[in-house]
Chains A and B, each alone.
Chain A
Amino acid sequence: MEIDISKLILAIITEDPQLVSGGGAPVFIASSAEEKEQMALNLSRILGGMIHDLGNGVFFIVKH
């Protein structure tokens, strides 16, 4: 039986640090939209999570 964490924000990627504060997940600051996408892809592959979009340009990785 494998025990796994799920439904947890593993990382947050944003261009604008103003939009996020505190919290338990590490926040990664990107300098452009392309960089944000690339960082999100890398993080999702490393963490095995899915990239979600909060709608305001903030990406976050959730393990399902």
Chain B
Amino acid sequence: MLYQNAIVSGLVAGVLARLFMLRLDYRQYPTYPHDLITHIALGAIAALIGAVFIPALLLKEFTAVTFLTIAAEQFRHVRNMERETLLKLEENELVQRGVDYVEGIARTFEARNYLTIFAAIIASGLTIWIGWLYATAATIIIIILSQFLKTGQVVGEIAEVVAAKLHFKGPLLMVDDIVIMNVGYPPSQEKILAEGMAVMIKPKDDNGRAILHSVGQRQAILHTAAALLGTKLEIAEPDFTPLARKDIDTGAIGLFILPLEKDFECLRNIIERSPVLESASRKPLETQAGRIASD
């Protein structure tokens, strides 16, 4: 069969690229095993579409190219499905991901399928024109590049996480100078003081401050922290809700959580490695007005 090698190499390159990107997905996803299968299956379909793209053009089957638009439509549909699923699950989540995080996950899911198509097109094209050895090399480069491109910013790059003092001012729970909430029940107050943790997330510059200003970003950090360290929050126990509130003067975030594992280094690590959400990403320092305002 004509272009057999090209199609096979494109397919392999695409699936490999998707598999490697899946490893980065791992932390974002609650690792539903069936979701994993969905990802791989859709990745394989995307890879196949990419792999036949150049052979179809070379065979002058131009109508075949229009199938790409159907594929794009399909992946957009998948993004909607992913969003709906996560939002439904969100209702039963005690510490919610937040709409921003869900949107980010859904968007990433769609984008990674396009990257898979792209990898497959390059690999199949190179196989046709300069041989499979070059295609293999290109695939490896694409995979390495996608690892860098898809990692995105993490909170540790835009802010530093330092320990903070958890205390009560009357009934008000405070993290340093930031009011978190009013806790009226004295035994809850004692438990929070004994077992709670507090950190300050201090933005490194104005860009960081704008990102931490996003409520969705804070919720994503809280969700990650609660998912990894555990939380003592329970139905009908709202006193132990993890919360993140902003110091309105400095833009620093005071974070309170009542974890199952009280370990500051772990909490710092988790927060620093939380992804900066695309929807929260703001760059006032990129504009002239923002730069002038910052000094």
Interface of A toward B, CB cutoff 8 Å: 37, 40-41, 44-45, 48-55, 59-60, 64
B131 at the interface (CB under 8 A from A): no
The distance from the CB of B168 to the nearest CB of chain A, in whole angstroms, is 10
B236 and A51 contacting across the interface, CB-CB below 8 Å: no
Binary flags per residue of B63-93, CB closer than 8 Å to A gives 1, else 0: 0000000000000000000000000000000
Q: Which of A40, A45, A48, A50 has the most CB of B within 10 A?
A: A50
Residues of B within 8 A of A55 (CB): 170-171
Residues of A within 8 A of B171 (CB): 52-55
A40 and B236 contacting across the interface, CB-CB below 8 Å: no
Residues of B within 8 A of A59 (CB): 184-185
Q: Cα distance A36–B152 when bound, in Å?
A: 51
Residues of B within 8 A of A44 (CB): 185, 236
Q: Cα distance A55–B169 when bound, in Å?
A: 10
Q: A55-B170, A55-B171 are in contact. Are A49 and B185 (CB under 8 A)?
A: no
The distance from the CB of B247 to the nearest CB of chain A, in whole angstroms, is 22
The distance from the CB of A59 to the nearest CB of chain B, in whole angstroms, is 5
Partner of B170, one of A45, A49, A53: A53
Q: Which of B182, B184, B186 has the most CB of A within 10 A?
A: B184
The distance from the CB of B188 to the nearest CB of chain A, in whole angstroms, is 7
B185 and A51 contacting across the interface, CB-CB below 8 Å: yes
A41 and B185 contacting across the interface, CB-CB below 8 Å: yes
Partner of B184, one of A45, A48, A51: A51
Residues of B within 8 A of A53 (CB): 170-171, 182-184
B278 at the interface (CB under 8 A from A): no
Chain A binding surface, main DSSP class = mixed
The distance from the CB of B233 to the nearest CB of chain A, in whole angstroms, is 12
Interface of B toward A, CB cutoff 8 Å: 170-171, 182-188, 235-236, 238-239
Q: Cα distance A54–B172 when bound, in Å?
A: 10
The distance from the CB of B105 to the nearest CB of chain A, in whole angstroms, is 23
Q: A37-B185, A49-B238, A59-B184 are in contact. List 19 more A-B contacts (CB 8 A).
A: A37-B186, A40-B184, A40-B185, A41-B185, A44-B185, A44-B236, A48-B236, A50-B184, A50-B238, A51-B184, A51-B239, A52-B171, A53-B171, A53-B182, A53-B184, A54-B171, A55-B171, A59-B185, A60-B184
Question: Which residue in chain B gives the minimum CB-CB distance to A46?
Answer: B236
Q: Cα distance A59–B188 when bound, in Å?
A: 14
Q: Cα distance A39–B171 when bound, in Å?
A: 18
Residues of A within 8 A of B188 (CB): 51
B238 and A64 contacting across the interface, CB-CB below 8 Å: yes
Question: Which residue in chain B gives the minimum CB-CB distance to A61?
Answer: B184
The distance from the CB of B237 to the nearest CB of chain A, in whole angstroms, is 9
The distance from the CB of A47 to the nearest CB of chain B, in whole angstroms, is 9
Question: Which residue in chain B gives the minimum CB-CB distance to A56?
Answer: B170
Residues of A within 8 A of B238 (CB): 49-50, 64
Residues of B within 8 A of A54 (CB): 171
Q: Cα distance A6–B235 when bound, in Å?
A: 15
The distance from the CB of B94 to the nearest CB of chain A, in whole angstroms, is 13
Q: Cα distance A41–B185 when bound, in Å?
A: 8
Q: Cα distance A37–B185 when bound, in Å?
A: 7
Q: Which of A41, A55, A60 has the most CB of B within 10 A?
A: A55
The distance from the CB of A24 to the nearest CB of chain B, in whole angstroms, is 19
The distance from the CB of B244 to the nearest CB of chain A, in whole angstroms, is 16
